[in-house]
Structure 1
Amino acid sequence: MRFVIQRVLESEVKADGEVLGKIGKGFMVLIGVCDSDTKEIADKMVKKMIGLRIFEDEQGKTNLSLDAVDGELLLVSQFTLYANCKKGNRPSFIEAGAPDMAKDMYEYIIAKCKEQGLTVKQGRFGADMKVSLVNDGPFTIILDSDTL
Structure 2
Amino acid sequence: MRALLQRVTHGSVSVGGKVIGETGPGLVILACAMQGDTAENVAATAKKIVNLRIFKDDDGRMNRSLLDTNGGALIISQFTLAADTSRGNRPGFSAAAPPDVGEPLYDLLCETIANYGVSVGKGQFGGDMQVSLTNDGPVTIMVEK
TM-score, structure 1 as length reference = 0.95
Task: Tell me the residue number matched to 1:10.
Answer: 10
Report matched runs for 1:45-124 at 5 Å.
45-124=45-124
Offset, 1:41: 0.9
Structure 2 stretches lacking a partner, 5+ long: none
Give CA-to-partner distance per residue, 1:49-99, whole Å, 9 cap, x none: 100111111111111111221100000000000011122111111111110
> Secondary structure in 2 aligned to 1:117?
coil
Offset, 1:30: 0.2
Residue correspondences, number: 145
Query: Separation in 1 of the partners of 2:137 and 2:66?
Result: 15
Offset, 1:34: 1.2
Residue type at the aligned position of 1:29: I
Query: Separation in 2 of the partners of 1:100 and 1:15?
Result: 21
Query: Separation in 1 of the partners of 2:86 and 2:63?
Result: 38
Residue type at the aligned position of 1:74: L
Query: Separation in 2 of the partners of 1:12 and 1:30?
Result: 12
Residue type at the aligned position of 1:3: A
Identity %: 41
